[in-house]
Structure 1
């Protein structure tokens, strides 16, 4: 954890303990701030608060300190109960597996480390995510009338939204998940026989490392659409 994050985490923990006292079970830092891809001043700081129970009064309590922490890039935390977590693993396996794999315990029991995700549920959500994003990609392309500058932004959004599914697909098939997004894309392509050069160009277009003409953006969109469709079919037939 970066030194500036350590101070924010320490001070935030103190505020949360004062607000919730014995109702507080655990407090976690997760997301980029808990890993290597945190960008100071740009990345949000994500936290998960686990309480014994949650009512509207508990939410109102946090409003007392919300603006103070927003100034330090702390977004409104997730407020969950242990029971909600336990009963939602089948519905949100991707989200909870991401939390399990990338978090820092700031207070209380590390209940995220105790989570067990059913591979069948994980495969189903990955399939749902990829199919849903593919549909959205098609629909948005038509809504945007294929305009290159807007299609470029659409490709950027699609890459960001598909990355969690890619990361968890690697976990599902027993592959070690790289820390960086470019490496995740490269590994997904190689593991499932997709076009690794295309995935590299997709990433470089998003980060600005590569410039593309109108014709190149249209071509790239078509290639991305084709590769995501291939991956969708692979995941659909995957046995776990």
Structure 2
């Protein structure tokens, strides 16, 4: 029995579990939707969650259906990440009614870009010449770029490298620094991306609907 089937069998036996979803390119990420998140319910998840962490080294995300909806305006990038590349193992699809507001998404994309750029500058001061900062930070920015592609009403590829290439093409920026390790060029492209998202105006009526 593979890990997806095994965790499904463990969780479906718990009364308060409503849905079990795996997501991500290798389905190593797990989301559990329960009727509530009270301590008594959380205790019932302990054994399956420990088993999953031992198998995947990945902590499951714990939600209620209401919490997913309540998080849309605060964590749209995270909900977007959870809703894409998902497979429902048990119960109803918790993302079938998800509608992500483009205004909230733009704000978080800008905030995340600014915060990650700040961290990148700090890391460069401390570690330049020690290890490849482009390589260790590329995936972090690709995650934000997924949200940026949604803002431009563009398809979001599965592969991180394709996400980077797609957004750079949309913004008429050179994607090569993300792959050749040239930090100064990489930094300039990221700065230009940050500026473009800062200036982007989106309609408050636009919504992203999970497929």
Q: Same fold judged by TM-score > 0.5?
A: yes
Deviations 1:75-133 (A, max 9, x none): 33111111211111000101111222221111111121210000001111111111111
Which residue of the other structure, out of 96, 100, 115, is the alignment partner of 1:117? 100
Q: Which runs of 5+ in 1 are unaligned?
A: 35-44, 203-219
Select which of 20, 31, 37 maps to 1:54: 37
> Among 49, 55, 58, which residue is 1:75 paired with?
58
| Contact preservation (8 Å) 2:24, 2:84 | no
The RMSD of aligned alpha carbons is: 1.8
Query: Are residue 24 (structure 1) and residue 22 (structure 2) matched?
Result: no
From the CA coordinates, give the structure whose radius of gyration is larger: 1
Whole-angstrom CA distance in 2 between matches of 1:197 and 1:82? 41
Q: Does 1:201 align with 2:159?
A: no
Q: Distance in 1 between matches of 2:24 and 2:82?
A: 8
Query: Do the aligned residues in 2 keep the contact of 1:186 with 1:200 (CA within 8 Å)?
Result: no
CA contact (8 A) 1:28 1:106 kept: yes
Give 3-state SS (helix, strand or coil) of 1:114's partner: coil
| 1:33 aligns with one of 26, 34, 38 | 26
- Which residue of structure 1 aligns with residue 117 of structure 2? 134
Q: Select the residue among 171, 176, 183 that pairs with 2:162.
A: 183
With a CA cutoff of 8 Å and minimum separation of 6, indicate the structure with the bigger relative contact order. Answer: 2
Match of 1:85 among 37, 50, 68: 68
Question: Hey, what's the Cα distance between the residues in 2 that align with 1:66 and 1:110?
Answer: 20
Q: 1:31 to 1:54 in 2, by over 3 A?
A: same
Distance across 2 between alignment mates of 1:125 and 1:68: 33
CA distance in 1, matches of 2:79, 2:91: 18
**What's 1:222 paired with?**
184
Q: Counterpart of 1:33 in 2: which secondary structure?
A: coil
Q: Which residue of the partner structure matches residue 209 of structure 1?
A: none
* 1:14 paired residue number: 9
Greater helix content: 1
Residue of structure 1 equivalent to 2:146? 167
